[in-house]
Amino acid sequence: MTQLGSTDRPAPFCGLDTWLPLPARITRVDQENFNTRTFHVQIVDDAVRSSYRWLPGQFNMLYAPGIGEAAISISSDCEQGGVLEHTIRVVGSVTRAIDRLGEGGVIGLRGPFGRGWPVDQIDGHDVVMVAGGIGLAPIRPLVYWVLRHRERCHRVILLYGCRTPDDQVYADELKAWESDGVIDALVTVDNAAQDWVGPVGVVTNLLRRVRVNAERTMVMACGPKMLNRAAAWNFLQLHVPASRVFLSLERNMNCGFGRCGHCQYGSKFVCTDGPVFAFSEIADIFASEEA
């Protein structure tokens, strides 16, 4: 597949009308935890499927027929075409309806939307990824990207936290990433069962374990607001420039392409200016939220 830098953002593959969802079939469903499943989805049209391109950190709008749409990150490997994976926490009407359709069901898909992780800036950097809960879904394509292009960066660290061992997503892959040593992966849980041998405590505790070379560190974080905030402050205090601390944000979405204003965040639209922002772009908005 052709390789894209994050500045060459792929245009949405929605046909002539960006509002019109493309039919896409659910070909497989993997259980991640009690309310979260990974849906493997194939765009039905052969030509569109084979030309669909996207970058780590981008998202699709998934449509449950007759119910509505939800923004869902693409969680698979962007250099492996054909099947798109979406890891969905079943929380409301759209995600429940997609879940009910299950394997063989046909949904609608618009995208890819948004600005993803800055993979074109990775060269020569230490990369620290911080994820909480389902925030690992948009980070996972970044892990795949780094594993494919390992020679382009120095240290690669993945810090992941969730409530209990049973709440992990991609548990088998996390084990493989932890043990194979290609990246430094560390998983922590807030509450452990007796057979858990890893760290216990919130993911922000792991931040203290990271030795940071501020001159060459890039941070990419996605999780609940508290996690994003803690990750940003932690690395800023360690003198990592705000322009190299990246956060993926969530806001209510409707159009996905900058028309409706639903996702407005200060002067930004999360769907087009984000969802990934350098902290330097949103520091003022962050500060005004805290005031």
Ligand X SMILES: Cc1cc2nc3c(=O)[nH]c(=O)nc-3n(C[C@H](O)[C@H](O)[C@H](O)COP(=O)(O)OP(=O)(O)OC[C@H]3O[C@@H](n4cnc5c(N)ncnc54)[C@H](O)[C@@H]3O)c2cc1C
**Which residues contact ligand FES (rule: CB under 6 A)?**
253-256, 258-263, 269, 271
Closer residue to ligand X (CB): 72 or 240? 72
Closer residue to ligand FES (CB): 85 or 273? 273
Distance of alpha carbon 208 from alpha carbon 173, whole angstroms: 24
Amino acid at 187: V
Residue 137's binding partner among ligand X, ligand FES, none (Cβ under 5 to 8 angstroms by kind) is ligand X
Closer residue to ligand FES (CB): 100 or 259? 259
Residue 261's binding partner among ligand X, ligand FES, none (Cβ under 5 to 8 angstroms by kind) is ligand FES
Cβ-proximal residues to 137 (8 Å cutoff; 6+ apart), any chain: 73, 75, 86, 87, 169
CB of residue 261 vs ligand FES: minimum separation in angstroms?
A: 5
Distance of alpha carbon 231 from alpha carbon 94, whole angstroms: 31
Helix residue ranges per DSSP H, the chain: 46-51, 93-101, 136-148, 171-180, 203-207, 225-237, 270-273, 279-290
Closer residue to ligand FES (CB): 225 or 259? 259
Per-residue tokens: 130: 């911080």
Residue 134's binding partner among ligand FES, ligand X, none (Cβ under 5 to 8 angstroms by kind) is ligand X
CB of residue 83 vs ligand X: minimum separation in angstroms?
A: 16
CA-atom Rg of the chain in angstroms: 18
Closer residue to ligand FES (CB): 167 or 273? 273
Residue 258's binding partner among ligand FES, ligand X, none (Cβ under 5 to 8 angstroms by kind) is ligand FES
Residue 254's binding partner among ligand X, ligand FES, none (Cβ under 5 to 8 angstroms by kind) is ligand FES
| 6 to 10, 115, 264: CA distances (angstroms) | 9, 7, 22
CB of residue 267 vs ligand FES: minimum separation in angstroms?
A: 13
Residue 262's binding partner among ligand FES, ligand X, none (Cβ under 5 to 8 angstroms by kind) is ligand FES
Residue 40's binding partner among ligand X, ligand FES, none (Cβ under 5 to 8 angstroms by kind) is none
Per-residue tokens: 248: 């993926």
Closer residue to ligand X (CB): 204 or 248? 248
Amino acid at 70: A
Amino acid at 77: D
Distance of alpha carbon 15 from alpha carbon 80, whole angstroms: 22
CB of residue 256 vs ligand FES: minimum separation in angstroms?
A: 5
Residue 260's binding partner among ligand X, ligand FES, none (Cβ under 5 to 8 angstroms by kind) is ligand FES
Neighbour-count burial of 267, counting CB atoms closer than 10 A to its CB (0-12 exposed, 13-18 middle, 19+ buried): exposed
Closer residue to ligand FES (CB): 105 or 274? 274
Distance of alpha carbon 139 from alpha carbon 268, whole angstroms: 22
CB of residue 70 vs ligand X: minimum separation in angstroms?
A: 4
Q: Give bridge partners of residue 66 from the DSSP assignment.
A: none
Query: How many of the other CB atoms lie within 10 Å of CB of 250?
Result: 21
Contact 203, 190 (CB under 8 A): no
Closer residue to ligand FES (CB): 229 or 262? 262
- Give the footprint of ligand X on this chain (CB under 6 A): 59, 70-73, 87-89, 91-95, 134, 137, 250-251, 253, 275
